[in-house]
Structure 1
Amino acid sequence: MGATRAHGKNRTFPSSGFQLSQASCLAPYPQQTRFMTQPELLQPTLSTSSALSKFFPEGYYPPHTPQMDRLMAELRVIAANPVVEAAYNDAIAHLDPFVMELGTQQENPWTGTSIDDFVNYFDKWFTFLPQPSSGLGFIVPLTFLYLNNPQGFYFLNKLQSKSGDATAYSAEVFNWTVRFIKERGHFMDSPESIYYLDEWLKFVGPSIKDYIVPPGGYQTFNEFFARSLNLANNPRPIADPDDDSILVASADTEINFIESNLTLKTTLPVKTREINVAELLNNSTYAKRFVGGTAVSCVLMPTNYHRYHAPVTGQLVEGMDVPGIYNGIMDGEHWFNEGNIGESDTNFSIFEDFHRAYFIIQTEKYGCVAIIPVGLNTISAIHPSVVGNASTYVQPGGTPIPVKKGQELGHFAYGGSLNILLFEPGVLGSLSVLMGQRIGSLSAPAK
């Protein structure tokens, strides 16, 4: 099993010489907690009962909690319904036969699988512990079930069924995945989730000084994942803080333009995708302000800092949490296999239905700016921040809250995430950079 390592030992990060006391970052753990310090822990701890087992990330999988076992029993009842099994088989029959994984074309891992494999996949996923090299763990393979596959999307999110003792039809599979994501969120809020903290600290390296480390250390993975900036060290200097015409990044992201002439239902170029601004903003009365304006995507990956901030100074006039789906990026290959994440030919229409929040900031001279944090696959929670004594969720007609650019608006729990920024017409036309500054990263030409 391996002994629990002392918390007070100093460690040196490779190539940097940077030293960090583990006492400053590691929380106290129960005696039975295992660390990846023994050779046997480097071996996968996997079930071999599933056709998908070879796609499970290697590592330590803690045992299920009683609530997880209850939820898995519920899923098995749903999966035993012939209607559900038939819908699953229909989804498998319409799979994209080949997918891109790690830059190479491979057979879709869901090919030839049964409803039992689907159940086993979630059974294993429940206690998956992400490492820097496997942050998207079970997320990416699941996208291959509904990649360019309406039947797969329907099975996960729309199928109506009545299983076991149910008395009425409902979206049983979808409702179960919501309960799964919520319970997995609880797991990521538990001490068990911190197992690979050392690996994440190695990955973050010297920049750990950019963040606040709680006095007792990070006690859960989500506490580390949603870590706050240490403002005393000024880790993210705000560009021209007194110049309200300067737009700043809302998060640590990859930025891509989506469209520069929005309508309430805009057709995007290349693949004739549609993005419904009114739906993105939950039919807010402010939606019409962005007709003819610009939308920008800002994608956060699991290894990013996961708090989002005001990109402009102004009055926060509206902010809300909008429930929605958790799984369904049918252009998943664009999101997870390309360096240029979320480019303009990606299908952004799905985000009308994803769990999201939105914030609308009224600036003094530059109209309204909307920030839409979207929880992509498996984001269990989108949390508002508190400005003064008020939540950043401002109900329509509520009292506006003054915010400064760079001020925190909220944060995500573990998963993939995205910010969409909306601007009124004529407000944002281009980005300006100085010679030699980074514009972006390149990827190999599409074949």
Structure 2
Amino acid sequence: MIQYNNKVVKKRPGNWLPTDRSKLKHWVDKQINIVVSKGILTEEELKFQFQHQEVEALKELIENDTEIYILTNQMIAQALEYDKFDPTGSPEITDYRMMLVLIDHILTTAPEYVSPDEEGYGLIGFPINAILDWCMGTPAGYAFFLNDQVNSCFKAILNRWCEFLDSDASLYVLNTGKHGWMCDSAEKQLQIEEFIYNPDDEHWGFKSWNNFFTREFKDGMRPIAEPDNPKVILNACESAPYHISTNVQKDQQFWLKGQPYSLEFMMAKDEYVDEFIGGTIYQAFLSATKYHRWHSPVSGKIIKAYVVPGTYYSEIHSYPYDDAGPNNSQGYITQVATRAIIFIESDYPTIGLMCFMAVGMAEVSSCKFTVNVGDFVKKGDQLGYFQFGGSTHCLIFRKDVIEQFVVDAIPAPDFNNSTVIKINSKLAVAY
């Protein structure tokens, strides 16, 4: 937790949600007003069938599974009780039907741009996360969001939303208006001139929201550091350092407040787990407005590449005050969230087998590969990307591989102040 204008608020790395929770409340209130204007939030209208069958399926699960029904109501009640001690305002969601109505509404929207200078507002990069915000940190919410059936429903919901974000209907937020991603403020923040786009096209040449958010750099914008030096390991994502852990172990209690890494759970009990015992993990997080593709940190052969299904809104349990926050549970989510795992056999023997892990966080759970098993990649070659933005990622090395990290790779005491390291730049040096 941090102090902001004398308020206790959650830290929000990467600017996916506002630090000032009053801005989050303002946004959710706005969504409630929209659905109220449609007559959906009256007692009678709440009985209607949802626009999206995936949301209807979650409603049916809640109402037909006694345990899940109890957890759903408990987490909302606990959030309301918790908010008696929260100076930023009461939670906006007062029952599960309201929660589902808002989620149903979000599935036909795309995130709008909000200037960092706009009073009372904040960029909402995780809109469903914003709706569920305080419920996630409650004891009942901890159990609810770890439930396999619940996560199966959220997977279907997010897949449906991704369909919308892949369609041209999502382009309505690419405009030059105040909250459009083509306005002057957004252009400056995005540094759009560094990317491939058509300034003369109505939507800069992008075909959908996802196409815009996974935009690629122009050639030469991110040169490869020391391409002929096999000891140099590159930064795999445009990201800021979160944590470096040495002497990592196979089995740790990763759900505790310190969020230690547990290789066995991170790698979903892969056959290569033992190779990395005693090794090093580097973790960094991506910003909402930055580049969201992954590039290879080393030259070598792709040995394995697969996606591990996981949770979507599970955060470390710390109640009543959530010191971690949904975006601050980044160590924890490497072991429970949906994640893409790529094993690369470096052609530099000292590095040997290493692992790249792209971790989905909240809505950002769609990990796409651009490489196949058996491919040979050079340092800086693209490996894949997050659909709709980015999240967090890890580089995992065996024991006695890393001699040193560059200064910028060392996380700041408050990791929100860590320096964003450009992709393909020098991250570390192997022995």
Question: If the length of structure 1 is used for normalisation, what is the TM-score?
Answer: 0.69
Within 2, Cα distance between the matches of 1:221 and 1:373? 21
User: What is the aligned partner in structure 2 of residue 127 from structure 1?
Assistant: 108
Seen in structure 2, the aligned counterparts of structure 1 residues 250 and 331 have a Cα distance that, compared at 3 Å, is farther
Work out whether 1:187 is the aligned partner of 2:134: no
Alignment-mate amino acid for residue 36 of structure 2: T
**Residues 85, 115 of structure 1: 8 Å contact kept:** no
Q: In the alignment, which residue of structure 1 is the partner of 2:354?
A: 369
After TM superposition, give the deviation of residue 411 of structure 1 in Å: 0.5
1:222 aligned counterpart, secondary structure: helix
**Closer, same or farther: CA 316–82 of 1 in aligned 2, 3 Å:** closer
Helix, strand or coil for the counterpart of 1:228? coil
Deviation per residue, 1:191-250 (Å, 9 max, x gap): 11111113323424383232223788101000001112222xx11111111112112211
Residue of structure 1 in register with 2:332 after alignment: 349
Contact residue 98 and residue 107 of structure 1 kept, 8 A: no
- Other-structure match for 2:46: none
Partner deviation per Cα, 1:267-310 (whole Å, 9 max, x = no partner): 67993434321222232222212111111111113222110111
Equivalent in the alignment of 1:38 = none
Q: Structure 1 CA distance, aligned partners of 2:254 and 2:313?
A: 22
Question: Structure 1 residues 88 and 307 mapped into 2: Cα distance closer, same or farther (>3 Å)?
Answer: same
8 Å contact 1:68–1:126 — kept in the other structure? no
Taking every aligned residue pair, what percent have the same amino acid on both sides?
A: 23
In the aligned structure 2, how far is the partner of 1:265 from the partner of 1:379?
A: 26
Cα distance between partner residues in 2 of 1:278 and 1:246: 27
Query: Larger % of helix: which?
Result: 2
Give the counterpart of 2:398 among 398, 421, 424.
424
Which residue does the alignment assign to 1:90? Answer: 74
The residue type paired with residue 381 of structure 1 is S
Q: Tell me the equivalent position of 2:207.
A: 219
Residue 64 (structure 2) aligns with: 81
- Structure 2 vs 1, CA of residues 318 and 82 (structure 1 numbering), >3 Å: closer, same or farther? closer
Matches of 1:291 and 1:348, distance apart in 2: 17
Taking a change above 3 Å as real, the CA distance of residues 242 and 443 of structure 1, as seen in their structure-2 partners, is: closer
1:116 alignment counterpart: 97
Structure 1 residues 359 and 98: alpha-carbon distance in aligned structure 2, compared to 1, 3 A threshold: same
Q: Which has the higher contact order (CA 8 A, sep 6+)?
A: 2
| Contact 1:301–1:417 (CA under 8 A) maintained in structure 2 | yes
CA contact (8 A) 1:276 1:349 kept: no
Q: How far apart in 2 are the matches of 1:275 and 1:442?
A: 19
Q: Distance in 1 between matches of 2:196 and 2:72?
A: 45
Q: 1:441 to 1:138 in 2, by over 3 A?
A: farther
Q: 1:231-310 counterparts in 2 under 5 A?
A: 231=219, 234-266=220-252, 271-310=257-296
The letter of the residue matching 2:222 is R
- Residues 208 and 325 (structure 1), Cα distance of their counterparts in 2 relative to 1, 3 Å cut: same
Residue 152 (str. 1) matches residue 129 (str. 2): no
Aligned partners of 2:141, 2:111: CA distance in 1, in Å?
A: 25
Deviation at 1:384, TM superposition (A): 0.4
TM-score, normalised by the number of residues in structure 2 = 0.71
Query: In the alignment, which residue of structure 1 is the partner of 2:383?
Result: 409
CA contact (8 A) 1:109 1:141 kept: no
Match for residue 58 of structure 1?
Answer: none
Asked if structure 2 preserves the Cα contact closer than 8 Å seen for 1:307 and 1:411, the reply is yes
Instruction: Give the drift of 1:421.
Output: 1.1
The CA deviation at 1:91 is: 2.0
Find the residue that maps to 2:34 and give its secondary structure.
coil
Question: CA shift at 1:175, angstroms?
Answer: 2.4
Quick one: structure 1 residues 74 and 204, their matched pair in 2 at CA, closer, same or farther if it must change by over 3 Å? Answer: same
- What is the alpha-carbon root mean square deviation over aligned residues? 3.6
Residues 318-370 of structure 1, C-alpha deviation per residue, up to 9 Å, x if partnerless?
Answer: 21121222221237966769xxx75xxx4623332211111112222323221
Picking from 151, 158, 167, the partner of 1:174 is 151
The 8 Å contact of residues 79 and 116 in structure 1, kept in 2 or not, is answered as no
Structure-1 separation of matches of 2:227 and 2:311: 37
Amino acid paired to 2:143: Y
* Moved segments of 4+, more than 4 Å: 96-99, 267-270, 331-337, 437-445
Q: Which runs of 5+ in 1 are unaligned?
A: 1-42, 54-65, 160-170, 395-399
Alpha-carbon offset, residue 119 of structure 1: 1.6
Aligned residue pair count: 352
Distance 1:267-1:116 versus aligned 2 partners, 3 A rule: closer
Task: Note the residue ranges of structure 2 that are not aligned, 5 or more in a row.
Answer: 1-29, 42-48, 114-122, 418-431
Aligned partner letter, 1:422: I
Residue 46 of structure 1 corresponds to 34
Matched, 1:106 2:91: no
Separation in structure 1 between the aligned mates of residue 125 and residue 370 of structure 2, nearest angstrom: 25
Aligned to 2:304: 318
The structure with the largest alpha-carbon Rg is 1
Give the aligned partner of residue 360 of structure 1.
Answer: 343
The 8 Å contact of residues 249 and 277 in structure 2, kept in 1 or not, is answered as: yes
Which string of whole-angstrom CA distances, capped at 9 and with x for unpartnered residues, describes residues 39-64 of structure 1? Answer: xxxx97712389xx9xxxxxxxxxxx
Describe the superposition over 1:387-445 as per-residue Cα deviations: whole angstroms up to 9, x where unpaired: xxxx2xx2xxxxx32211111000111155111111112222542349xx998696899
Task: Indicate which of 182, 186, 192 corresponds to 1:208.
Answer: 192
Structure 1 residue 98, shift from structure 2 partner: 4.9
